[in-house]
Amino acid sequence: MGQAHVAIITGAGRGVGRAAAHALAREGYSLALVSRTQADLQITQRDAPESIALPGDISEVRHVEAVVSKSLAHFGRIDAIVHCAGIAPLLTIEQTTPQDWRAIIDTNLSAAFHLARAAWPIFRRQGGGAIVNISSLAARDPFPGFSAYGAAKAGLNLLGLALAREGQEIGVRVHTLMLGAVETAMFRKIRTPEQWPSTKTLDPADVAATIVQCLRGDLRYTSGEIITLHKTI
């Protein structure tokens, strides 16, 4: 058997990131799992035995670079990056401090750039790779209070297109999943079940299944495009 494919997953401690980790583990991937909280990563690892936990703040450039270098040192290769980490506080423009703006932009958008930049030479040397970035319908239709979050996700959409164009010549695909409401703890901080029933939310496992399709190559012709997933009922 050949060497297992390796993926870095941010936001792997909960929600879509955890679901993606479990789905990719079933596909035989070795995983580098990233989240702020070690305890959350340990729970994810129960169903992802071929994994390492790399807790820390993905908005920090130094942590991103350490994640990539440690993943490469441990596994010997990196085939994919799945950027699920995000923060989405509801803040009016008057409530949003410069520090809030920076944190939201850096976690949702800048981290995706830093991850791609750090992994790009590895992808070039290996002859290819894949990136999946998790965006949001807030990029085009944000809830009130989502000015920073919506702006970050809109930037992520364009970053995906730009990276896909650059990556074409070296075999790197970049997929952007623009999600509607997903049944996660982060979403439930924004909307209660009374305000937004679970019948209108995506299951994280369904998002994870699409991530698998992207990395496996089933959706290889969508590199650079925005793939929209949302409940219509």
Is the residue at 132 inside a domain?
yes
Give tens-digit pLDDT for 62-111.
999 999 999 999 999 999 999 999 999 999 999 999 999 999 999 999 99
185: confidence class by pLDDT, cuts 50, 70, 90 = confident
Is the residue at 67 inside a domain?
yes
The CATH number of the domain holding residue 189 is 3.40.50.720
Is the residue at 207 inside a domain?
yes
Is the residue at 1 inside a domain?
no
Separate counts of helices (H) and strands (E) for the chain: 8, 7
What total of structural domains would you count in the chain? Answer: 1
| Residue 3 pLDDT > 80 | no
Position 10 scores a pLDDT of 98
1: confidence class by pLDDT, cuts 50, 70, 90 = very low
Higher-pLDDT residue of 233 and 176 is 176
Q: Which domain holds residue 189?
A: 6-229
Is the residue at 155 inside a domain?
yes
